[in-house]
Structure 1
Amino acid sequence: MALNTYEKLAFVASQKPDAQEALKILTRKYGNQDAANADVLIALGGDGFMLQTLRRYTTLVQRGLPVYGMNRGTVGFLMNAYGEDDLLERLSKAQKTTVRPLKMSAEAKGGHFEDLAFNEISLFRQTQQAAHISVTVDGHQRLEKLIADGILVATPAGSTAYNLSAHGPVVPLGSRILALTPISAFRPRRWRGALLNANAKVEFSVLDPVRRPVSVSADNQEIRDVSYVTVVEERSKKLSLLFDADHGLDEKILREQFST
């Protein structure tokens, strides 16, 4: 198996003290290239910072710049273990995982909005009143009225994040499947969600946006007072994450399915 050759490293770090200290240490040891001239972008932080990094550097990553995360946060599902001395060797053996984001289009009080998400698109009630949402998949209304705290669509990479906390399924990478998961559903009480083809178009209509306002979030980017939201996979954007050879994202997702 051919090894990767990454010589020009670019480091970015969250504002947490551990991440900033790691940035200083690694910059002294390996240098710190501008991301536009680097062979690989190394993100130091947690999963939230990884999502921020992918969003900030979407253009470069879409052009082929791979991203390798090292955990200086809390959960770090999208990150590798932190280490200082063997970084070049780890990068040379790292496995590349391709991820595609979701594209959200939303109609809201403030106008029309579009955004991308690498984990999930989630709708959530803004007040104590439960949300009333109609759900349509590929032009067919599947739920006339979902009464719930909310609902989300998760990518395979994001299926172990908020989706799993909402009791949604863990989806293996490469399965070309999206998870559609309710958040604290009241009616229909027994509905636990659905697995959708990655080519599906999902539409959400907020049935009473005045009395029961709803917000939508693309990962951590929120838009309030929405009335209509569509979600599709953004097939034109293909991004590469690097994982240690013995700690790939596929293996992480597989282990999560057997966790107790």
Structure 2
Amino acid sequence: MSQQSPAPAPALAFVASDRPEAQFARAALAARYGAVPEADADVIVALGGDGQMLETLHANLRRRTPVYGMNRGSVGFLMNDYDEEDLLERIATAERTVIHPLQMDAWTETGEVQTGLAINEVSLLRQTRQSAKLKITVDGRMRLDELSCDGCLVATPAGSTAYNLSAHGPIIPLDAHILALTPISAFRPRRWRGALLSHQARVRFDVLEPDKRPVSATADNFEVRRVAAVEVRERRDIALTMLFDAGRTFGERVMAEQFAN
């Protein structure tokens, strides 16, 4: 009886942030395991912090190659621990986390429309010393006629532990099919703490008094200045895959964060 030959090792591409430790790790791992261009890779290994992971996912929105991150940065919530040993085995046994980005359609005061995708959140922020004033509509129904605030954001489950958490928004399990709508330093209504929405919800922000109180809108690192209106929805047709070491899945990290001191 013939034995099956082992599966070939995946072709790896290595990308790194500008930090010296990340660049050193990239050179060491490429020399040890071999490297191919990102377009030819079965798996992309991202070296750096969470910003590098987001940058890598954005760069591969079309190819949607699985990304395995290792922490060579300051924040590594989205990354695995760094270790040069047994990388192929770790990737082979890694558990997959699939995430879906948000689409932001932003209308500027001049009527121009700009579109961006966000893996973490879409946020609206005041541009001057004066508070922003926003009208919020969900699925065509007006929910807040005026929110006076520093800003407001819509976060994915993957992004719920990032800016959303800093703004006192809820941590959301990845399989909850929920988006967080979270105010940033709300002044009025003073007691409003945000809302949990279905992942199918369509959220619209209309900027009130845009000339006097200009607002910018950001989808992760893509910013549009002086917006008049912004619509946000989930792009379920785009599926991005992150790989996490067995037993240390992203879902487990989100759960542990809810019980952190």
- Normalising by the smaller structure, the TM-score range is over 0.9
Counting only pairs closer than 5 Å after superposition, residues 208-223 of structure 1 correspond to structure 2 as 208-223=209-224
Matches of 1:134 and 1:112, distance apart in 2: 19
- Does residue 241 (structure 1) correspond to residue 242 (structure 2)? The answer is yes
Structure with the greater alpha carbon radius of gyration:
2
Structure 1 residue 87: Cα displacement: 0.7
**Structure 2: gaps (5+ residues):** 1-5
Distance 1:6 1:258, change over 3 A: farther
Shift of 1:6: 4.6
Tell me which residue corresponds to 1:113. Answer: 114
Q: 1:10 aligns with which of 10, 13, 21?
A: 13
- The letter for the 2-side match of 1:122 is S
- 1:50 and 2:53 correspond: yes
Note if contact 1:6-1:91 (Cα within 8 Å) is conserved in structure 2: no
Alignment of structure 1 residues 1-260 onto 2, 5 Å = 6-61=9-64, 65-109=65-109, 111-260=112-261
Deviation at 1:77, TM superposition (A): 1.0
SS in 2 for 1:24: helix
1:224–1:6 Cα change, 3 Å: farther
Deviation at 1:5, TM superposition (A): 6.6
- What is the identity, as a one-letter code, of the residue corresponding to 1:80? N
Amino acid at match of 2:197: L
* Residue 84 of structure 1: how far off its partner (Å): 0.3
Contact 1:4 1:92 in 2 (8 A): no
The answer to whether the 8 Å contact 1:132/1:146 transfers is: yes
CA distance, structure 2, for counterparts of residue 231 and residue 5 of structure 1? 42
Q: Secondary structure at the match of 1:186?
A: coil
Report Cα offsets for 1:148-185 as digits up to 9, x if no partner: 00000000000000000000000001110000000000
Deviating beyond 3 angstroms after TM superposition, the runs of 4 or more aligned structure 1 residues are: 3-6
Maintained 8 Å contact 1:202/1:232: yes
Contact 1:97 1:243 in 2 (8 A): yes
**Which amino acid is the alignment partner of residue 68 of structure 2?**
Y
Task: Specify the code of the residue in structure 1 equivalent to 2:248.
Answer: H
Deviations 1:217-243 (A, max 9, x none): 101111110000000001110111100
| Shift of residue 109, structure 1, vs aligned partner | 3.8
Q: Provide closer, same or farther for how the CA distance between residues 71 and 208 of structure 1 changes in structure 2, counting only shifts above 3 A.
A: same
1:79-117: per-residue Cα shift (whole Å, max 9, x none)? Answer: 111110111111111000110000000001462100100
How much has 1:189 moved relative to structure 2? 0.6
C-alpha RMSD of the superposition: 1.3
- How far did residue 34 of structure 1 move? 1.3
CA shift in 2, pair 1:6/1:201, >3 Å: farther
Separation (CA, whole Å) in 1 of partners of 2:232 and 2:165: 19
Looking at structure 2, the residues matched to 6 and 118 of structure 1 have their Cα atoms a distance apart, in angstroms, of 29
